[in-house]
């Protein structure tokens, strides 16, 4: 069965696994105090072009989000996001469980428009009763978004400028960051991302690691006692080395972007092929997640031979599907899928 289900259906890229095997018998200090974590942090600083960035590692995306958001917010602050944002839809209320309101704003193509943010902030501070509301403390963006779309440099700068004007922190969830960076549609690089954001994640789980997300706080921006908060939330790995070794491997010899490119190349080949066959786009994504509309009969037939997500009903007879590629996707699988349609 062909699988385009997600970018985390396989284990790790062989070079990541090999690094774990090679370091397996070394006796190393726990809790992220080992040399691999330090080396991986150095590599991420270089990758970010910010020698003063603070870096930490946790095991998963929801964990990263709830930890960063609750560590950077004051208790009377909320986090704003596109209503399609992962923290608003698929994290089981994890942010609220830490005590903070998630304020969803209407998304356009999975993105939070700067205009929507500006409007919210203006109305908030114009409202005489705003001290009876949670204060906007952060903007959460996912990049690429849950719909595979990308913020442009101008969009990100506008959002960042608004955040700074109103005293909000800007946090970018980069669970699939690599797929954005290598996309031909992207005009954003890591320097720009770090310049605009107060915190961001560089995802490993969906980008070739067994598991793990790197947390980057540009310009020494990690809040004090972040490690204690990490422990407090059950997010500190005893064998922190596992994260260090994996990210060290991913950021050696350009593996991270190489894997990202592989996936995006195949996704765009798939997209071109499907467009050629006349399938309508559900949304125009330039990254490793592709969204097309199928009529339900074709859909039923396709599901017998390929695994993928049903994204949303479109009308009585049509459904949007999501097709995802990863480092593990083989070109032949793309060709095979195209032949099926």
How far is 241 from 237, CA to CA, in rounded Å?
9
How far is 227 from 11, CA to CA, in rounded Å?
27
Cβ closer to a second copy: 23 or 285?
Answer: 23
Cβ closer to a second copy: 59 or 160?
Answer: 59
Alpha helices in 73-176 (DSSP H): 86-89, 94-97, 114-126, 153-166
Cβ closer to a second copy: 39 or 239?
Answer: 239
Cβ closer to a second copy: 138 or 242?
Answer: 242
Contact present, 285 and 251 (Cβ < 8 Å): no
Cβ closer to a second copy: 277 or 330?
Answer: 330
Cβ closer to a second copy: 25 or 276?
Answer: 25
How far is 128 from 286, CA to CA, in rounded Å?
43
Cβ closer to a second copy: 24 or 152?
Answer: 24
Shortest separation between residue 251's beta carbon and a second copy, angstroms: 20
Tokens of 340: 């099926």
Strands 213-217 and 199-203 come out as antiparallel
Burial class from Cβ neighbours inside 10 Å (0-12, 13-18, 19+) for residue 56 reads: buried
Give Cβ neighbours of residue 225 (< 8 Å, ≥ 6 apart). Answer: none
Q: Using DSSP, how many helices (H) and how many strands (E) does the chain show?
A: 14, 13
Shortest separation between residue 234's beta carbon and a second copy, angstroms: 3
Cβ closer to a second copy: 70 or 160?
Answer: 70
Tokens of 173: 């969830």
Shortest separation between residue 146's beta carbon and a second copy, angstroms: 12
How far is 108 from 111, CA to CA, in rounded Å?
5
How far is 94 from 79, CA to CA, in rounded Å?
12
Tokens of 231: 């422990």
Tokens of 171: 């946090």
Shortest separation between residue 229's beta carbon and a second copy, angstroms: 5
Cβ closer to a second copy: 88 or 158?
Answer: 88
Shortest separation between residue 134's beta carbon and a second copy, angstroms: 3
Shortest separation between residue 18's beta carbon and a second copy, angstroms: 9
Shortest separation between residue 330's beta carbon and a second copy, angstroms: 11
Shortest separation between residue 78's beta carbon and a second copy, angstroms: 6
Give Cβ neighbours of residue 117 (< 8 Å, ≥ 6 apart). Answer: 80, 105, 139, 159, 162
Shortest separation between residue 100's beta carbon and a second copy, angstroms: 6
Nearest Cα neighbor of 106 from 98, 96, 114, 94 is 114
């Amino acid at each position: 069965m062909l699988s385009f289900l997600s970018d985390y259906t396989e284990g790790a890229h062989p070079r990541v696994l090999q690094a774990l095997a090679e370091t397996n018998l070394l006796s190393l200090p726990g809790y992220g105090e080992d040399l691999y974590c330090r080396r991986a942090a150095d590599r991420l600083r270089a990758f970010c072009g910010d020698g003063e960035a603070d870096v930490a590692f946790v095991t998963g995306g929801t964990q990263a989000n709830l930890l960063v958001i609750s560590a950077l917010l004051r208790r009377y602050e909320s986090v704003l996001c596109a209503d399609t944002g992962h923290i608003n839809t698929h994290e089981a209320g994890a942010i609220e469980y830490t005590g903070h309101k998630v304020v969803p704003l209407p998304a356009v193509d999975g993105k939070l428009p700067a205009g929507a943010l500006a409007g919210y902030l203006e109305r908030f501070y114009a409202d005489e009763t705003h001290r009876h509301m949670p204060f906007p403390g952060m903007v959460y963006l996912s990049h690429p978004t849950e719909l595979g779309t990308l913020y442009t440099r101008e969009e990100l700068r506008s959002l960042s400028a608004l955040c700074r004007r109103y005293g909000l922190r800007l946090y970018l969830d980069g669970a699939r960051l690599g797929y954005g960076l290598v996309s031909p549609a992207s005009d954003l690089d890591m320097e720009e991302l770090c310049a605009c954001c107060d915190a961001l994640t560089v995802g490993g789980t969906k980008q070739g690691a067994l598991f793990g997300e790197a947390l980057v706080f540009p310009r020494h921006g990690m809040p004090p006692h972040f490690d204690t908060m990490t422990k407090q939330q059950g997010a500190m790995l005893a064998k922190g080395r596992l994260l260090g070794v994996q990210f060290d491997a991913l950021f050696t010899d350009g593996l991270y972007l190489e894997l990202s490119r592989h996936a995006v190349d195949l996704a765009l080949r798939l997209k071109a092929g499907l467009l050629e066959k006349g399938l309508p786009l559900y949304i125009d994504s330039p990254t490793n997640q592709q969204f097309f509309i199928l009529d339900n009969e074709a859909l039923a037939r396709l599901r017998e031979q390929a695994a993928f997500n049903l994204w949303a009903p479109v009308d009585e007879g049509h459904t949007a599907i999501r097709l995802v590629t990863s480092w593990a996707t083989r070109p032949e699988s793309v060709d095979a899928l195209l032949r099926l349609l």
